[in-house]
């Protein structure tokens, strides 16, 4: 209790200190300090049979972020973002780790920019959208960090053409994702390669969900991306704790191929996003748990070829009303964790945001209902609602 009280007082102090954006500059070099805050109350409405615990019905600080951005000279930019709330509760949440960004960008080469350090990987358009740009309190499951990492340490090369209408990304990363922060590399020594290309028309399309500016001409963006990792563990070794993810397939002992495509459109306050992702997992060990039934029965190699598939998709529609200062959003998503396991997850979500000051101050409420579940992901509930407030200072 004492720790919680001290933590709360610490957070209050930080909010008071960082309740404005500060910029420091000496001519060639500059640094901007800002902060972001959000909290919500959560209630699970329909519990499954036999579920009695209300532990997940809570009110808590969701994010308290300190953001440092700046440049050194003409060609070096840096970005460091820390989540103090996640640091205090020692969370290793792929959607909200304690360190969100710690990287530098060098723009001095004509051929490409170089981004080195820790941050979001160039895979999935939805992954690039800031949490504070969305009316929802949660990302789609497929892009939420369950099947593939959202952040990692590595080096990215970036090149754009025609005033950023075309963007190309390619890089090499540890392949451990969010677990890299606490575990370093793994015994395999393998890495992950990720690439992405997106095209927008008729102007640059930023990574946003809500068309607050009410685009006067129809705009669209189309993206494709892929990633490949090969990690073969030496006999008697294993990946560090949390590396494999909640379902043991985020990082695998073998080869992992991931492909995805995304589409976005916006015009006069209406916007639409859609994504699809497919993962091919080739296991090194035919006795791997991912190649077994839920009862633990080992499937024959002739049947599995030591390979299982997972993937999913989502579609989302949004409408922004200037008159009502509101955003109305709906999302439908589907995900299959393992093609050898019965069932798949399907959920329908709704969100509403009242914009006190655009996305810089929003009261948000989101609700989702689970239509079907996968056997290995039982949840324990059917519906959930979250209500809260976010502020960018």
CATH label of the domain that carries residue 202? 2.40.160.10
Q: Annotate 39-84 with DSSP letters as a single string.
A: EEEEEEEEEPTT----TT-EEEEEEEEEEEEEEETTTEEEEEEEEH
pLDDT at 246: 83
Contact 334, 344 (CB under 8 A): yes
CA distance 295 to 298: 9
The phi, psi pair for 220, rounded to 5°, reads -145, 160
E strand segments, the chain:
22-25, 29-47, 58-72, 76-83, 99-106, 113-120, 151-161, 166-173, 192-201, 219-231, 254-267, 270-283, 307-321, 326-336, 343-355, 361-374, 381-392
Q: Report the pLDDT value the prediction gives residue 179, as an integer from 0 to 100.
A: 87
Q: Residues 92, 101: contact at Cβ < 8 Å? A: no
For the chain, what percent of residues have pLDDT higher than 90? 66
Asked whether residue 383 carries a pLDDT value surpassing 70, the answer given is yes
Task: Give the closest residue to 362 by CA, choosing from 17, 62, 22.
Answer: 62
Residue 190 domain-assigned (yes or no): yes
Which pLDDT score is estimated for 9?
44
Is the pLDDT reported for residue 12 higher than 50?
no
Mean pLDDT check: name the lowest of 27-41, 219-233, 238-252: 238-252
Check whether 294 has a pLDDT greater than 90: no
Closest CA to 156 of 143, 168, 172, 145: 172
- The predicted pLDDT at position 90 comes to 62
Domain that holds residue 214: 103-392
> Which tokens hold the place of 369?
């209902």
Q: Alpha helix (H) ranges present in 199-258?
A: none
Confirm whether 14 is domain-assigned.
no
119-123, 207-211, 241-245, 375-379, range with the lowest pLDDT? 375-379
pLDDT tens digit sequence for 41-62: 999 887 776 665 677 788 888 8
Structure confidence by residue, pLDDT tens digits, 131-188:
999 999 999 999 999 999 999 999 999 999 999 999 999 999 999 998 888 777 789 9
In a domain, 331, yes or no: yes
**Each residue of 314-334: pLDDT tens digit?**
999 999 999 999 999 999 999
Percent of all residues in the chain with a pLDDT value above 70, rounded to a whole number: 90
Q: Of 244, 274, 246, 242, whose CA–CA distance to 256 is shortest?
A: 244
Rounded CA separation 26/181 (Å) = 33
Q: Is residue 69 part of a domain?
A: no
Give every CB contact of residue 189 below 8 A, 6+ residues apart in sequence. Answer: none
Q: Please, what is the Cα angle at 131 between 68 and 277, to 5 degrees?
A: 120
Q: Give the number of other CB atoms < 10 A from CB of residue 294.
A: 13
The least confident of 5-19, 28-42, 70-84, 264-278 is 5-19
Q: Helix H segments across 178-254?
A: 180-183
pTM check: above 0.85: yes
Mean pLDDT confidence for 255-284: 97
Bigger pLDDT: 46 or 199? 199
Domain assignment present for residue 146? The answer is: yes
pLDDT at 24: 84
Least Cα distance to 240 among 281, 190, 185, 289 occurs for 185
DSSP string, 92-140: --TTS-SEEEEEEEE---SS-EEEEEEEE-S--HHHHS-GGG-S-SS--
| Residue 59, in any domain of the structure | no
User: Which of 128, 28, 15 shows the shortest CA–CA distance to 77?
Assistant: 28
Confidence at residue 247, expressed as pLDDT on a 0 to 100 scale? 85
pLDDT, tens digit (0-9, with 9 covering 90-100), for 146-158: 999 999 999 999 9
Average pLDDT over all residues of the chain: 89
Is 6 a residue whose pLDDT tops 60? no
**Rounded distance between C-alpha atoms, residue 282 and residue 271, angstroms:** 37
85 within some domain: no
Considering its fold, how many domains does the chain have in total? 1
Q: Is the pLDDT of residue 15 over 80?
A: no
pLDDT at 210: 97
In a domain, 338, yes or no: yes
Confidence of residue 2 (pLDDT cuts 50, 70, 90): very low
Residue 5's pLDDT is 43
Beta bridge partners of 24: 31
């Amino acid at each position: 209790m004492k720790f919680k009280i001290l933590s709360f007082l610490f957070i209050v102090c930080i909010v008071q200190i960082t309740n404005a954006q500060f910029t420091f500059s000496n001519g060639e070099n500059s640094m901007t300090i800002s902060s972001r805050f959000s909290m919500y109350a959560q209630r699970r409405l329909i519990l499954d049979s036999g579920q009695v615990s209300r532990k997940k019905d809570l009110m808590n600080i969701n994010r308290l972020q300190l953001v440092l951005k700046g440049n050194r000279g003409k060609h070096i930019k840096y970005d460091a973002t820390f989540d103090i709330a996640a640091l205090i509760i020692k969370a290793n949440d792929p959607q909200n780790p304690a360190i969100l960004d710690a990287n530098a960008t060098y723009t001095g080469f004509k051929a490409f920019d170089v981004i080195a350090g820790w941050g979001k990987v160039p895979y999935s358009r939805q992954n690039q959208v800031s949490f504070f740009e969305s009316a929802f309190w949660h990302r789609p499951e497929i892009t939420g960090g369950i099947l593939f990492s959202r952040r990692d340490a590595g080096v990215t090369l970036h090149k754009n053409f025609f005033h950023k209408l075309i963007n190309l990304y390619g890089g090499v990363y540890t392949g451990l994702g969010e677990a890299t922060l606490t575990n370093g590399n793994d015994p395999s020594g393998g890495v992950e390669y990720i690439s992405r290309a997106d095209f927008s028309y008729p102007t640059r399309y930023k990574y946003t969900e809500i068309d607050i500016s009410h685009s006067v001409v129809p705009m669209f963006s189309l993206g494709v991306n892929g990633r490949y990792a090969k990690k073969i563990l030496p006999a008697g070794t294993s990946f560090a704790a949390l590396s494999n993810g909640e379902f043991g397939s985020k990082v695998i002992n073998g080869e992992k191929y991931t492909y995805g495509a995304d589409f976005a459109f916006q015009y006069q306050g209406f916007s639409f996003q859609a994504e699809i992702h497919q993962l091919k997992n080739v296991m090194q060990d035919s006795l791997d748990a991912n190649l077994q039934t839920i009862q633990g029965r080992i499937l024959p190699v002739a049947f599995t070829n030591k390979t299982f598939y997972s993937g999913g998709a989502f579609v989302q529609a949004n409408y922004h009303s200037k008159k009502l200062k509101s955003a109305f959003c709906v999302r439908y998503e589907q995900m299959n964790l393992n093609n050898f396991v019965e069932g798949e997850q399907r959920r329908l979500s709704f969100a509403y945001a009242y914009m006190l000051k655009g996305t810089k101050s929003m009261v948000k409420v989101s609700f989702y209902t689970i239509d079907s579940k996968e056997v290995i992901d039982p949840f324990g509930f059917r519906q959930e609602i979250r209500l809260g407030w976010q502020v960018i200072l």
